[in-house]
Chain A
Amino acid sequence: MGDVTTAASGLHGIPVVFFGIIALWMIVSALGTVLAKNPINSVLFLVTNLLGVAVMYAALGAHFLAVVQVIVYAGAIVVLFLFVVMLLNVKVEREGANSLLFKVAATMCGVVFVALVARAYLPGMEDLLQTGFILEAQSSNGSSDADGTVKAIGRELFTKHVFIFEAVSLVLIVAMVAAVMLAGQRNRGEKLLKQNPKQLGIR
């Protein structure tokens, strides 16, 4: 309980052990999302990972974002994923012939990216172990007004960024209408591909 209240009070004043446990949890669940054979397991690993991200937001003092993360991601987006996985009910994944080479190359891409970021943000591993980030001193002067409370976020959102806020709501409406259009037409694309393929010039 003590750990939880410290984490929720922001200032990333949580113990390193707590951070390590959550970080390990997130990395394991991310690997599970990628590697699980059954898409249902992938979705469940993904929601675990997203809850870990919410914990990290709370630890960084972004309380409103932590709540929104749980509600929007775990509550809406992942349920949408789960719904589609169960609707389509496809379990067997066919692997290509060049699968192994491709997998090695893809893994190398990820590793190279992590190495690049580590190189850019961590001047040396001794820096990671001892002092951490070189700009750590910045946190002392600005951490009080950067707490993502509902009041602070709302003031920023509806004054400085109000135009983008409205534009993004328009984007959401358009995307919803487009999704209904795409998924709702039951047999138009099917007919084009199945009954009349020559007209499209396919095969």
Chain B
Amino acid sequence: MIPFSYFILLSAVLFGIGAAGMLFRRNTIVVFMCIELMLNATNLAFVTFSKMWGNLDGQIMVLFTMVIAAAEAALGLAIIISLFRAFQSIDSSVASELKR
């Protein structure tokens, strides 16, 4: 019998790793992967809470999150491709034209 707190703590650790990585990587593809990490961490927390309260709504939310994550990945990668076409780089610091 694994306590639910272990799952929550694991989810928090994964979310923290994803958040830190999203902040300090410059490669936009890796930033998107870190966002996927964070989404999966929250999904794990959803499933844990769903199990804990005996309520399936959390698992339904995970399904919807997966759909939104798929949409987000498709859109984000399309944006990365057009970013690469415009700047010949996927470094997030090159896309700073709005600063000037």
| Inter-chain residue pair count (beta carbon < 8 A) | 284
CB nearest neighbor in B for A11: B1
In the complex the two chains form, what is the Cα distance from A118 to B19 in whole Å? 16
Q: Is the CB of B17 within 8 A of A14?
A: no
CB-CB nearest in chain A for B29: A39
- Per DSSP, are chain A's interface residues mostly helix, strand or loop, or mixed? helix
Asked if residues B9 and A110 are in contact (CB atoms below 8 Å), the reply is: no
User: Is A77 touching B91 in the complex (CB atoms < 8 A)?
Assistant: no
Min C-beta distance of B73 to chain A, whole Å: 5
Are B74 and A65 in contact, with the CB atoms below 8 A? no
Partner of A161, one of B36, B60, B85: B60
Cross-chain contact of B74 among A93, A152, A160, A176 (Cβ < 8 A): A176
| Number of chain B residues whose Cβ lies closer than 8 Å to a Cβ of chain A | 76
Do A114 and B2 touch (CB < 8 A)? no
Give the docked Cα–Cα distance between A33 and B98 (Å).
Answer: 30
A residues adjacent to B (C-beta < 8 A): 12-14, 16, 19, 23, 26-27, 30-31, 33-36, 39, 42-43, 46, 49-50, 53, 56-57, 59-62, 64-65, 68-69, 72-73, 76-77, 80-81, 84-85, 87-88, 90, 93-96, 99, 102-103, 105-107, 109-111, 113-114, 117-118, 121-122, 127-128, 131-133, 135-136, 138-139, 141-146, 148, 152-153, 156-157, 160-161, 164, 168-169, 171-172, 174-176, 178-180, 182-183, 185-187, 189-190, 193-194, 202-203
